[in-house]
A and B are shown apart, each in its own frame.
Chain A
């Protein structure tokens, strides 16, 4: 077992306190850097997709996991980021300028959607965002002049300072780099005053208010940050798919994102990554096992939805803390080896917040 024993202020502030953690992340970084040279083309593309999904999932985690605001329509922000980016590239803006502008645009929309969030919360907010996602898909489908409507819209290649990054490996490194940046930024944000305020708002709005936290301000701020990060994911996704159609950003994507954060474990950035990797890999995995299934089942397209639903149900029922919760339990098991008790993480009694009359 390890006990924290600080010998300087820097110990408490370090991102990774121990040599073992630093070594583990260094190995991970080396593996990720070497991966495109060792893996086949198909897998490099898939990993790039996973990185993009990780960014999207991180974006939703800020909102849902850290401020407790449920959004069932985050696909809309991805769509807005993707289309804004593709449109600006089409107008001849350079990639390095277009990405931040697309992020800014989505963040602005996030502000507009976040403002009503002061008035509605919980289920109501979930419904507002759901309706917003459907509306966005609808508008994109019908605004032919800008978005190409249902015919779709092609995306220009990413060119940074004269280098074409559309190749498989350069784009892989671009996504990896941006994911690292986003992750580091969010890790630090969540350790800061802002992050603590977010968690305060999540756990008890009244208590946060009583402590002088500007509740509505932080709620909207979470929306803005979340939308901006999702916009970045959308812009990268635009390059990954190369051809944008409204169907690509439908409700299914929104629910995939919700699945990622829920299965990963709400309230942890590591969980967002875990969830995105698992859910992002699932389609590949399913297409792999399809040949082994009876033809009647494998021919149908519903298999994917079925597996998604089943995984979600099992996680909600048996591991509400998600993969991250399981990870922490495993870690504690090994760290405290002979001393681990089965009910160490047993949930205390929780009571549903009720709207009933009392």
Chain B
């Protein structure tokens, strides 16, 4: 029984990261209909920036976190306002290709400037553990879950309760109608990109101490894609649920299934859900229009 609880909690900790990454993906997808492949690489780049600030420049941890998030937000804002806007109105796949291209460029830049070695940086919670009713939890996992929860709640409040958030929702449902009601659609789109960038930076900073600061960190994005699909494409609560569920599934697969399944199970889930049940857990049903 303890094993099951332990696995579930470990899974939730990993799943919280997936959920956060998935949340960022869904946000941009809802607002701009672009599947943002930059997300994973921005996450990876932020963890490198965080490492640079904390280890090389010896900044305090919290200041470094704030600075990294700010850098990622400004970068995403500029990216949307200067680059992504050029292809508005082109077929959906142009956006995918463009983001893949930018992601490659970013990955190349990071690996050119930092080199292939893996790194690590200290956090206030490194190597600390908490006992909860016979289950041992790393403090870092608790922080990850708490951050995920906090970001989700803040976002929920922002999108539901503030004028700006409602405007974003309106723009994502019908850009023209929103524009005619006096909403500055372009600026809001950039704002959503900036928000996503900030979330990516946060994910990178949280993920790096549990794994390592490494180029391959971007791969978490493909796992997050599986989470998005599992939860139902384009649904924010679905992304959170899918992420947590995927983390738990992975942990259980690692223990109860033969060796090698742990890394593959996310992709099996992705294919299986898309083929058998494309709506996902909480997805909206929408038919395809001609």
Contacts and interface: CB of A to CB of B under 8 A. Distances in A.
Interface of A: 70, 116, 119-124, 126-128, 130-132, 134-135, 138-139, 142, 204-206, 255, 258, 262, 297, 300-313, 316-317, 320, 349-358
Contacts of B98: 312-313, 316-317
Given A309-B104, A313-B98, A317-B83, A353 B275 contact: no
Interface string B78-100: 00000100111111111011101
Given A258-B100, A317-B98, A357-B286, 6 more contacts: A119-B275, A204-B290, A302-B215, A306-B107, A356-B172, A357-B174
A309 B102 CA distance: 6
Contacts, number: 155
B271 interface: yes
A358 B174 contact: yes
B52 interface: no
A132 B270 CA distance: 9
Contacts of A317: 83, 86-87, 98
Interface stretch (B131-139, B206-214, B225-233): B225-233
Contact of B112 (A127, A300, A353): A300
11 contacts: A126-B93, A130-B222, A132-B267, A134-B222, A302-B111, A311-B101, A312-B101, A316-B98, A320-B90, A350-B89, A355-B286
B112 A352 contact: no
A309 B91 contact: no
Contacts of A304: 108
Contacts of B123: none
Interface of B: 33, 35, 83, 86-94, 96-98, 100-113, 115-116, 172-175, 215, 222, 225-226, 229, 233-234, 260, 263-264, 267-268, 270-271, 274-275, 278, 286, 288-290
A206 B286 CA distance: 17
Contact of A127 (B94, B109, B229, B264): B229
Contact of A131 (B89, B94, B271): B271
B108 A303 contact: yes
B102 to A, nearest CB: 6
Nearest to B29: A123
A135 B102 contact: no
A313 B288 CA distance: 29
Contacts of B89: 349-352
Nearest to B115: A300
A132 B105 contact: no
B218 to A, nearest CB: 11
